[in-house]
Amino acid sequence: MTDIEFVKQAVAGNAARILRANDEIFGCAELAYEEFRSMEILAGILAEEGFDIETGIAGMPTAFTASAGSGRPVIALLGEYDALDGLSQAPGVPERKPLKENGPGHGCGHCALGTAALSAAVAVKKYLERTGSQGTVVFYGCPAEEGAGAKQFMARAGVFDRVDFAFTWHPSTMNEVTQDASTAIMGAVFEFTGKAAHAGGSPWLGRSALDACELMNIGCNYLREHIPDGQRIHYAYGNAGGTAPNVVPAYAKIKYEVRAKNVSEVKELFRRVVQVADGAARMTETEMNHSVTMAFSDFMTNTVLGRTAAACMKELGAPDWDEEDYALAKRFLLSHDEQTLDGIRQEIREMFGGDREDAVLSRPLHADVLPYEPWKGKAEGGSTDVGDVSYVVPTAEIRVACACLGTRAHTWQMTGQAGSRIAHKGLLRAAEIMALACIRLARDPDALARAKAETMKRNGGAYVCPLPDSVKPPIGLY
């Protein structure tokens, strides 16, 4: 039996249970650091498959590891399973139909992300057992990627230090090895404390914490003109000073997140935002305190692992779509408003050529595999805590189509497809690709040595967590 035949058989043999798990996690849709049922589902399957389970990793109750095998190499599969607030949607339904009004939903497809990584881990374990090969496979259950993250806390705690290489994936609209780089991100809570007063009778006695927040926002708006292209500044109120307009608010809280292409740049941008906050406090005669709550390092696929994964993806190909899949995908595509559809049409013309626009729109599922060309990679606007793993060990991410072309992450359309037959096929193919890539790399010590050398060059010889040691996972706070 060839490696491909073995992997396909191993994934297919577990497919029914994996797809059930995807749908159960889709249905419970738990937010960051609250993924107790999702963790229970995944850990339960792994325990039944003979993995040793350890929970409460790095101080997070919903973080866990599942290990099997012995010796080196130590192979990591990274899984996520948190949902997003407000994106509840019925599975496979191409019209807005929340399962729970304003409830959470898997608008980034993490239900599929975790289950496919689990399937790959089980397949690798079976391969090691069948061949009698040395090696340890570890599934890392990573919560809160959509919140303040988990992997950076795990990396800081040394959880990945024993790993030789790591693979992960993400549900997408395309089939490719990730070649773009994610941005580094840092987030903090800024609290302003002033003095309450009657807003009509004696406003001169008050010192408005809300005014301080507003002035901070104004200062950051002006700062945006003077930062490098690609950097981002985001904010949201945590407490706007109460609901009584006739009271000068004595307390207000605002959250800020900043993004830049790497950790050093994001720290510098964050420093400038803190300076703006300090200025706002001085202008309003309020006190300002800030506390860092989250930070992710930037991510880039290790090119040695990327080439291995790309070869496996090319051999296995895109998911096996049928006419029912294409028909469902087209209905999801047409559920977008006209402005969004115009943008999708433009993207399709740029990617596939104007002469193929109508054909692609009529069957809007990616049925090819994009070539891996890391030199063409660019910085994306998003961030992921996978970046911190990539600074510790060689790490690669693949993307497999689980939604129609043009689908945006963090939308109800993505949620609906994450629980559909489209994502079912995509996640099983992702499991096959990752398992095959793990097997190939485990048998190639020269490639593994090159991959490690690349990571050491990138991290300067050691991983440095962008979070201060004093910052703990903000469970129940973020």
pLDDT value of position 380 = 82
Q: How confident is the model at residue 378 (pLDDT cuts 50, 70, 90)?
A: confident
What's the domain count of the chain?
2
AA identity, residue 244? A
Flag whether 465 is in a domain: no
Q: How would you class 358 by CB atoms within 10 Å of its CB: exposed for 0-12, middle for 13-18, buried for 19 or more? A: exposed
pLDDT value of position 40 = 98
Backbone angles phi, psi at 105, to 5 degrees: -155, 160
36-78 confidence digits (pLDDT tens): 999 999 999 999 999 999 999 999 999 999 999 999 999 999 9
Flag whether 58 is in a domain: yes
Answer yes or no: do 430 and 341 share one domain: yes
Taking alpha carbons only, the member of 42, 92, 183 closest to residue 414 is: 92
Residue 430 to residue 402: CA distance in whole angstroms: 10
Q: How would you class 40 by CB atoms within 10 Å of its CB: exposed for 0-12, middle for 13-18, buried for 19 or more? A: middle
Residue 413 to residue 368: CA distance in whole angstroms: 22
What is the DSSP-derived secondary structure letter of residue 56?
Answer: S
Compute the C-alpha angle 24/27/30, nearest 5°. 100
89-134 confidence digits (pLDDT tens): 999 999 999 999 999 999 999 999 999 999 999 999 999 999 999 9
| Cα→Cα distances 385→5, 117, 256, 299, 392, Å | 33, 16, 17, 8, 12
368, 318 contact by CB (below 8 A)? yes
Answer yes or no: do 316 and 201 share one domain: no
Answer yes or no: do 206 and 339 share one domain: no
Cβ atoms within 10 A of the Cβ of 222, count?
A: 9
Q: Is the pLDDT of residue 254 over 70?
A: yes
Flag whether 473 is in a domain: no
Tokens found for residue 171: 């549900």
Cross-strand pairs, 68: 137
CATH code, domain with 424: 3.40.630.10
Calculate mean pLDDT across residues 393-414.
Answer: 97
Flag whether 15 is in a domain: yes
AA identity, residue 449? A
Q: Is the pLDDT of residue 417 over 70?
A: yes
275-300 confidence digits (pLDDT tens): 999 999 999 999 999 999 899 999 99
Answer yes or no: do 153 and 192 share one domain: no
pLDDT value of position 375 = 87
Flag whether 475 is in a domain: no
Q: Is the pLDDT of residue 477 over 80?
A: no
What is the DSSP-derived secondary structure letter of residue 334?
Answer: T
118, 81 contact by CB (below 8 A)? no
pLDDT value of position 273 = 98
DSSP alpha helix (H) spans, 132-208: 151-156
Answer yes or no: do 193 and 240 share one domain: yes
Domain that includes residue 382, residue range: 3-182+298-459
What is the DSSP-derived secondary structure letter of residue 403?
Answer: S
Flag whether 471 is in a domain: no
Label residues 378-399 b or e (16+ Cβ within 10 Å = b): ebbeebbbbbbbbbbbbbbbbb
433-457 confidence digits (pLDDT tens): 999 999 999 999 999 999 999 999 9
Q: How would you class 410 by CB atoms within 10 Å of its CB: exposed for 0-12, middle for 13-18, buried for 19 or more? A: middle
CATH code, domain with 267: 3.30.70.360
Flag whether 305 is in a domain: yes
80-93 confidence digits (pLDDT tens): 999 999 999 999 99
Answer yes or no: do 323 and 444 share one domain: yes
Answer yes or no: do 277 and 419 share one domain: no
Answer yes or no: do 253 and 342 share one domain: no
Cross-strand pairs, 171: 400
pLDDT value of position 145 = 96
Answer yes or no: do 213 and 312 share one domain: no
Residue 391 to residue 54: CA distance in whole angstroms: 24
Angle between helical axes of 421-442 and 110-131 (0-180°, round to 10): 40
pLDDT value of position 478 = 66
Q: How confident is the model at residue 352 (pLDDT cuts 50, 70, 90)?
A: very high
Residue 92 to residue 66: CA distance in whole angstroms: 31
189-226 confidence digits (pLDDT tens): 999 999 999 999 999 999 999 999 999 999 999 999 99
90, 415 contact by CB (below 8 A)? no
Backbone angles phi, psi at 456, to 5 degrees: -65, -40
Q: Is the pLDDT of residue 472 over 90?
A: yes
Q: Which of 236, 262, 295 is the last residue of a domain?
A: 295
Taking alpha carbons only, the member of 429, 442, 451 closest to residue 125 is: 442
pLDDT value of position 210 = 98
Answer yes or no: do 348 and 411 share one domain: yes
Tokens found for residue 67: 């290990």
Answer yes or no: do 304 and 290 share one domain: no
Q: Which of 269, 295, 321 is the last residue of a domain?
A: 295
In Å, how far from its chain's centre is CA 368?
Answer: 24
Answer yes or no: do 284 and 324 share one domain: no
AA identity, residue 267? K
Cβ atoms within 10 A of the Cβ of 66, count?
A: 27
Flag whether 253 is in a domain: yes
